[in-house]
Amino acid sequence: MSGVKRVAIIGGGIAGLATAYYLDRRIRERGLPLVCRLFEAAPALGGVIRSERIDGFLLDTGPDSLFRGKPAAAHLAREIGLGDELLDASPQKLPTLIWSRGKLRPLPAGLELIAPTRVIPFLMSGLISMPGKIRMAMEPFIPAKRDGEDESVSQFARRRLGDEAARKIAGPLLAGIHAGDPERLSIWSTFSRLPELERRHGSLLAGIRAMRAKAAASGSTHGRPARSGPPFTSFRSGIRTIVDGMVGAIKDVVLETGCEVRSIERAGGRYRIDRGGGDPWEADACLVAVSAPRASSLLKSLAPEIASILETIRYASSATVFLGYRAGSTGPLPGATGFLIPFSEKRRIFGCTFVSNKFEGRAPEGHILIRAFVGGATDEGLAELPDGAMLEMVRQELRDLIGLQAEPVMTHIARWPKGNPQYEIGHGKRVEAIDRALAAHPGLFVTGSAFRGVGIPDGVTLGKAAAAEILSFLGWSVAADAVPAGAGTNGPAGSLPGAP
């Protein structure tokens, strides 16, 4: 292909913004004759990635960190000059805590990929009853399921490790990150590493041992379950630093905010973008990087078969409640970054982060900051409570769970109505069907958290892959470091990113 090409990106969340960044970088590095424009309906870019300062507290109201097991976002941050801003989570005296049988109990040391690998800490743990421990210890002898058929997170964990482990470990750790129902979330679409280890090695424990042996033989820590240092990192000025850094680094891609796209049409071999308040804009390639319901609406006329599949991707509502306290009024917090609550416990929050324990600089001197998670797929109605009722509910839960009686000096609620995509059983087949249907629409691409990963690192990875696919479609060679489109789907080895 020759001549100037035009690309439209619809959606300025992390995946769309990352696509814009990587296209912009290729334009500048290689002098590509490419005109690219990003359209975002909201007044600011970054989607759910938000940081706010209230009364001296720094609140990350959406995601608060980057998971170190997926380095794409941290690598990008260093690339754009934010390396000195990266801030590792503080070391903790205790691992992640789980509410069980009326108290907070630490996950046993040596728990990797939800499977126990160290005998003594496992036997000493109070999280799982003795019958539950015996059942978990039988995992290497449970016949492997190798048919590749999807099942829920709970079904997988129950089959391999027993009901108690499914409820108290797999549910909160694996489903918590999605604010999802572990009985409905797809194990292949959320943590495919687990069934893949079973398929290849017959059991999780055998798979973990094989991974360790491979890492030892290569002399590398890549892929090894064990990690040194805290598993999370963020930025000194809040998680939104990465969004502001990307926006500042983009020079040749036009970023339009407050610009809602009304429809996408195909005309004369190009995609015509109808944007409110402006003339239609035509592009040779168009990337749709918005939520599944919004994408379905945009594509209903252009690609009805894709729109109908998108309509089947369910979303759940949640809310995040922040509470700031004077440190002297609360007593000491548990020496962990927070705790998770199994959905089977029927509590009115499903997790809590001790933000002041996790990252320095989030609260003024002499104060602490806590955030609690409300709603999710198992109890969306709680996320719709009025502010006063929600605050009182959360405070009562904290009184019951950790004895926190003090009056907060700062409160804030961040609501995410239908903001959490649910990768339910069969999600992978839905994504594959969308990929097949896109073949009939050359130059049309879709990406984002509705498909192959909900975290910031996943969004960066998917944006980089989308940029490579767009350039390839337009006839330009793709850089050797381009990431395959399917990257970002799997949980990395040893990861438990559902932790607070």
The CATH architecture to which 109-218 belongs is Orthogonal Bundle (1.10)
Which pLDDT value is given to residue 96?
Answer: 85
Q: Where in the chain is the domain with CATH 3.50.50.60?
A: 5-47+238-313+424-473
- Kindly tell me if the per-residue pLDDT of 1 is higher than 80: no
Separation between Cα atoms, residue 209 and residue 304, nearest integer Å: 47
Which pLDDT value is given to residue 323?
Answer: 98
Which pLDDT value is given to residue 120?
Answer: 77
- Kindly tell me if the per-residue pLDDT of 450 is higher than 60: yes
Which pLDDT value is given to residue 222?
Answer: 44
Residues 428, 430, 433, 434, CA torsion sign: negative
- Kindly tell me if the per-residue pLDDT of 253 is higher than 50: yes
Which pLDDT value is given to residue 19?
Answer: 98
Q: Indicate the burial class of 136 (C-beta count within 10 angstroms; 0-12, 13-18, 19 or more).
A: buried
Q: Please tell me which residue, 93 or 432, carries the higher pLDDT value.
A: 432
| 108-117, 200-209, 389-398: the lowest-pLDDT one | 108-117
Q: Where in the chain is the domain with CATH 3.90.660.20?
A: 316-421
| Topology, domain 316-421 | Polyamine Oxidase; Chain A, domain 2 (3.90.660)
Q: Region 39-54: what's the mean pLDDT?
A: 96
Which pLDDT value is given to residue 479?
Answer: 54
Tell me the HSE value of 64 on the side-chain side, using a 13 A CA sphere.
Answer: 30
For domain 5-47+238-313+424-473, the CATH class is: alpha beta
| 86-100, 222-236, 475-489: the lowest-pLDDT one | 475-489
Tell me the HSE value of 472 on the side-chain side, using a 13 A CA sphere.
Answer: 16
**How high is the mean pLDDT of the chain?**
90
Q: Region 465-482: what's the mean pLDDT?
A: 82
Strand order in the sheet with 281-283: 261-267, 270-275, 281-283
User: Residues 138-192: pLDDT tens digits?
Assistant: 999 999 998 889 999 999 999 999 999 999 999 998 888 899 999 999 999 999 9
Return the axis-axis angle of helices 72-79 and 241-249, rounded to nearest 10°. 50
Count of H-run helices and E-run strands, the chain: 17, 22
Q: Region 474-480: what's the mean pLDDT?
A: 73
- Kindly tell me if the per-residue pLDDT of 458 is higher than 80: yes
* Non-local CB neighbours of 287 within 8 Å, separated by 6+ positions: 7, 8, 9, 10, 11, 16, 19, 445, 446, 447, 466, 470
Q: Please tell me which residue, 147 or 438, carries the higher pLDDT value.
A: 438
Q: Across the strands, what pairs with 86?
A: 235
Q: Indicate the burial class of 279 (C-beta count within 10 angstroms; 0-12, 13-18, 19 or more).
A: exposed
User: Residues 280-302: pLDDT tens digits?
Assistant: 999 999 999 999 999 999 999 99
Which pLDDT value is given to residue 287?
Answer: 98
Q: Where in the chain is the domain with CATH 1.10.3110.10?
A: 109-218
Which pLDDT value is given to residue 485?
Answer: 41
- Kindly tell me if the per-residue pLDDT of 227 is higher than 60: no
Separation between Cα atoms, residue 250 and residue 24, nearest integer Å: 6
Is the overall model pTM greater than 0.85, yes or no? yes
Cβ distance 290 to 13 under 8 Å?
Answer: yes
Reported confidence tier of residue 229, pLDDT bands at 50, 70, 90: low
| 150-164, 226-240, 341-355, 393-407: the lowest-pLDDT one | 226-240
Which pLDDT value is given to residue 219?
Answer: 67
User: Residues 485-496: pLDDT tens digits?
Assistant: 433 333 332 233
- 8-state DSSP, 475: T
